[in-house]
Chain A
Amino acid sequence: MSHQAKAVALISGGLDSLLAAKVMLEQGVHVEGINFYTGFCVEGHTHAIRKQDKAKPKRNNALWSAEQLGIKLHIVDIVEEYKDVLLNPKHGYGANMNPCLDCKIFMVHKAQQWIEENGFDFIITGEVVGQRPMSQRKDTMPVVARESGAEDRLLRPLCAQNLPATLPEREGWVDRDRMYGFSGRNRKPQMALAKEFGFEDYAKPAGGCCFLTDESYSAKLVDLWDARGKREYEMDDIMLLKVGRHIRPRPHFKLIIGREEGENKFMQGYTKIYISLKTTSHAGPLTLLDGVANDDDLLLAARITARFSQGKGDEKVSVEVRRTNGEVTSLDVTPLPASEIPEAWYV
């Protein structure tokens, strides 16, 4: 191989993208990594918020993968552009609010732009035919190549032998025989290859690479859109859906109730944007009120907040209500009994 080909590898932080990049490095290809941040990635946030998670050492898996591979990693903020992918996916959603196929097309498209700007030859992903129900099927894999504009500059080293030859193979930049023909949901071939390469301690995310595959997170996102009457979101919304208990006692407002000290502290940063409630006679959570509330609503919110405080068994709990203009009032309330908080209120 006289031409040292240059490839950019989509690095998610999972095992497959790590292996795909390694297979190319073994063939003498110059590889650099690219990682896209949508705002929904399972990286870091909960670690930053929840106190109990702080004990575990923090690791960004995409950075960790790049370090194992000895390659550069470019992290790209696509939060704003991603909104259109999530709100209007041409190919629809997966089991939850995950628009996996459109998401893959978009990311490969961004990678295609990146290789054009940076003089690289092709794109690598860790996709495996038949592994994911939506984006990694035999019939959707060509869709990703076509609609992203990458066409045959998109190479999937882990399943290349099952797919038509791509440009890097035809040009002789890579050797098809030294790639793989993995397919289906069986993870054993990947695990064996990881062992062969000496990779240990790689990330094993349960769902996918992001919160959108999570059922309870998706339900909260849909509830937010329903309540607002429009499908839109800001970064603050995405963050707040990750913390606290979410209880919607009335269609026009929702309560976000901190579950532990770290969450309460994190939510404190939002008290200028949302009405907040805090018990003063007893230790208790910080509650944010998202929506509009009249006096009756505030009373109900205070009783619910009291229910989650240490005074839940007492007759009277004092709750401080702080409005976004800084005005503070105090209410003495009886905690709402658990039996009066219907299951349906929990988002």
Chain B
Amino acid sequence: MIHKLDARRMFCPMPVIRTQDKIKELAVGDLLEVTSTDPGALSDIPAWCRINGHKVVDCREQDDEVIITVEVCSE
């Protein structure tokens, strides 16, 4: 199941915190698509995923926004 998270107009680490909190509610195998206007999310969200055992399946920049898709991999 794909879930969406709007983290626009927030600055790091807020998009990371919102991603973390949202993932807590999701099940293993779910996908979360995070949209952020802070390009810092491009490095911070993947770093958070690496250390917490989740997988970044897509990362793209589009019209001043970054869109990162994360697969929930652990409880």
List residues of A whose CB falls within 8 A of some B CB. Answer: 35, 37, 41, 43-45, 47-48, 54, 57-60, 62-64, 66-67, 70-77, 239, 269
Q: How far is the CA of A184 from the CA of B26 in the complex (A)?
A: 46
Interface majority SS (helix, strand, loop, mixed), chain A: mixed
Cβ of B9 within 8 Å of any chain A Cβ, yes or no, is: yes
Q: Which B11-42 residues have a C-beta within 8 angstroms of A?
A: 11-14, 16-17, 20, 38-40, 42
Closest residue of chain B to A77, judged by CB?
Answer: B17
Known: A60-B16, A60-B44, A67-B50. A44 touches B39 (CB 8 A): no
**Residues of B contacting A67 in the complex (Cβ-Cβ under 8 angstroms):** 47, 50-51
Number of residue pairs spanning A and B whose beta carbons lie under 8 angstroms apart: 67
**Residues of A contacting B40 in the complex (Cβ-Cβ under 8 angstroms):** 44, 47-48, 58, 60
**Residues of B contacting A269 in the complex (Cβ-Cβ under 8 angstroms):** 9
Selected from A44, A54, A64, A74, the residue in CB contact (under 8 A) with B20 is A74
Nearest chain B CB to A106's CB is how many angstroms away? 18
Closest residue of chain A to B24, judged by CB?
Answer: A74
**Residues of B contacting A70 in the complex (Cβ-Cβ under 8 angstroms):** 51
> CB distance A60 to B52 under 8 Å?
no
Q: How far is the CA of A269 from the CA of B14 in the complex (A)?
A: 17
**Residues of B contacting A41 in the complex (Cβ-Cβ under 8 angstroms):** 13
Known: A45-B12, A66-B51, A75-B17. 9 other contacts (CB 8 A): A35-B13, A58-B12, A58-B39, A58-B40, A58-B43, A60-B47, A64-B47, A67-B47, A72-B52
| 30 CB < 8 A contacts A-B | A37-B13, A37-B17, A43-B13, A44-B13, A44-B40, A47-B12, A47-B40, A48-B12, A48-B38, A48-B39, A54-B39, A58-B39, A58-B40, A58-B42, A58-B43, A58-B44, A60-B12, A60-B13, A60-B47, A63-B16, A63-B47, A67-B47, A71-B51, A72-B52, A73-B51, A74-B20, A75-B13, A75-B16, A75-B20, A77-B17
